[in-house]
Structure 1
Amino acid sequence: MKLKNPLLAVRDMERSKTFYREVLGLHVVMDFGANVTLTGGLCLQTLDTWTDFLGKEAEEIRFGANDSEVYFEEDDFDGFLAHLVGCADVVYVRPPLEHRWGQRVVRLYDPDRHIIEVGENMKSVCRRFRDQGMTPEQIAARMEVPLKFVTGCLR
């Protein structure tokens, strides 16, 4: 068994492609009209074809249930947050935050209220802590990860 691609049903394919391109910098790899694959392997499927596949009515599909998310990592987290300021249609699930292990994240909604999380790359977290003067041992304790993970990230 091999996971291939996560797929999100969307109401308006063009609006969704624009969101993923302008907000997250993803590009269309394959466009079959009703199904689009973006860089990184995320797939979008039109709502009408999705309901047909499932044998359901559109009213039976729930958007914005807040029960899952699509997760991305970003090397330049501060740059990404600055980029979001210029994106007019961004709706935050909540403001950016720093988790107890030190990783900074932001969660936002796509046009169909699927949750998108963008987290600071864990190597970047290690390097940020190193640049603040922490030792690898202190970083491992702060991040709640093995020292071997930290030393690998700091290479």
Structure 2
Amino acid sequence: MAQPFSKPSFLITPLNAAIAVCLLASSSALYAKDVAIKDSQKMDTLVVTAAGYEQKLADAPASVTVITAAELRSRPYTNLLDAMRDVEGIDLGTGQDKSGQGSISMRGLGSDYTLVLIDGKRQNNNGDIYPNGFGGFQSAHLPPLDMIERIEVVRGPMSTL
């Protein structure tokens, strides 16, 4: 018959305790190093629209909101108007313009005061350019959301989207 309190197979000795402490300390140091590497690999968000050249978002001369391609794909957006619904300061309104398109306005100003650029090229026009005042936001010229790398919404005197 086996004895209930036999000699344990692992003894806690000062040497075993020191080895266990060393293993725990080295594993936490390795974890901290991995976290530091991941944090250093994160890049700052860059914007181009606010000043006309690439700069960090924190250094931009205007209030800028950036919507990344990952954010566009993670939500059930079907067009640019859907993507703009969650941006502060953007008013999509409930109506449509004369061409049946939705309109984007910013901070209480009409859509005539909002400029839409794609790669620095103007996409919307005033009603004076189109016959019978059929101007406004022309979404037919916009690429599908899958092709958009990022959207920069600039508020204030620059007011571009």
- TM range, smaller chain: under 0.3
Larger RCO, structures 1/2 (Cα 8 Å, 6+ apart): 2
Q: Would you tell me which structure has more strand in proportion to its own residues?
A: 1
- TM-score normalised by structure 1 residue count: 0.25
